[in-house]
Chain A
Amino acid sequence: AQKITQTQPGMFVQEKEAVTLDCTYDTSDPSYGLFWYKQPSSGEMIFLIYQGSYDQQNATEGRYSLNFQKARKSANLVISASQLGDSAMYFCAMRERGNRDDKIIFGKGTRLHILP
């Protein structure tokens, strides 16, 4: 079974609209971290936002926020007021801390297209 599921292979959104990118995860570890990365066409992997499983509040970083619903095992990324420069591939990822393993598990990604 996949540990990270991103069900939207591609999305088209009008500029200035808000965007929600879906991510669900599967773990039995009570302690874990969730991440979102952005990969623009230039290819680099850019860290956007982090949420710890014990964090009480949803993480926010500028226009990015993580809608963390622990019971649903959901960690959707919300981008407010989208811009043309937000067009990129977005990866959701998870690290399970209980196994003392540094590895991060990545989803397959969602390609976001912002339309002018």
Chain B
Amino acid sequence: DAGVIQSPRHEVTEMGQEVTLRCKPISGHNSLFWYRQTMMRGLELLIYFNNNVPIDDSGMPEDRFSAKMPNASFSTLKIQPSEPRDSAVYFCASNDSPGGPSTDTQYFGPGTRLTVL
């Protein structure tokens, strides 16, 4: 059974360019999360969706960041324009709908390492 899939695994871009990160959650999972991890700030939740609807985007740093989930099997996180301080590892995670212990656990994708020069 495939886990959470993210692409690309690595992205190097120049300041000002648009960056799009992609995520495919585990089939059947209803919630999807985007995180950013840096040495300075640790793991930060950016936004999460439930049944394709954005529930909490309070962690999105600024208007340059946007996320979409057009269907249950795909989500994107876009940064436009990118800046060097956006350099980080971006994780996508998914879990089943809340309701019990077996559905609490979030499973993470391998991450996308973004470098903005």
CA–CA, A47 and B106, complex, Å: 8
The listed residue with most B CB atoms (<10 A of its CB), out of A37, A47, A100, A102, is: A102
A47 touches B107 (CB 8 A): yes
Which of chain B's residues have a CB closer than 8 A to the CB of A103?
A: 33, 45, 48, 56
B89 touches A50 (CB 8 A): no
Chain B stretch 94-117: residues in CB contact (< 8 A) with chain A: 95, 98, 101, 104-108, 110-111, 113
The listed residue with most B CB atoms (<10 A of its CB), out of A44, A45, A46, is: A45
Q: Count A interface residues, CB 8 Å.
A: 22
Q: 20 pairs across A/B with beta carbons < 8 Å?
A: A33-B101, A33-B104, A33-B105, A35-B105, A44-B111, A45-B91, A45-B111, A46-B108, A47-B105, A47-B106, A47-B107, A50-B101, A50-B104, A100-B98, A101-B56, A102-B31, A102-B48, A103-B56, A104-B45, A106-B42
B104 touches A95 (CB 8 A): yes
CA–CA, A108 and B48, complex, Å: 20
- Determine the residue in chain B with the shortest Cβ distance to A100: B98
| Chain B residues packing against A (C-beta within 8 Å) | 31, 33, 42-43, 45, 48, 50, 55-56, 89, 91, 93, 95, 98, 101, 104-108, 110-111, 113
State the Cβ distance, B52 to closest chain A Cβ, in Å.
13
Which of chain A's residues have a CB closer than 8 A to the CB of B42?
A: 106, 108-109
- Determine the residue in chain B with the shortest Cβ distance to A46: B108
A43 touches B110 (CB 8 A): yes
A104 touches B98 (CB 8 A): no
At the interface, yes or no: A97 with Cβ under 8 Å from chain B? yes
CA–CA, A35 and B108, complex, Å: 13
Which of chain A's residues have a CB closer than 8 A to the CB of B113?
A: 43
B101 touches A44 (CB 8 A): no
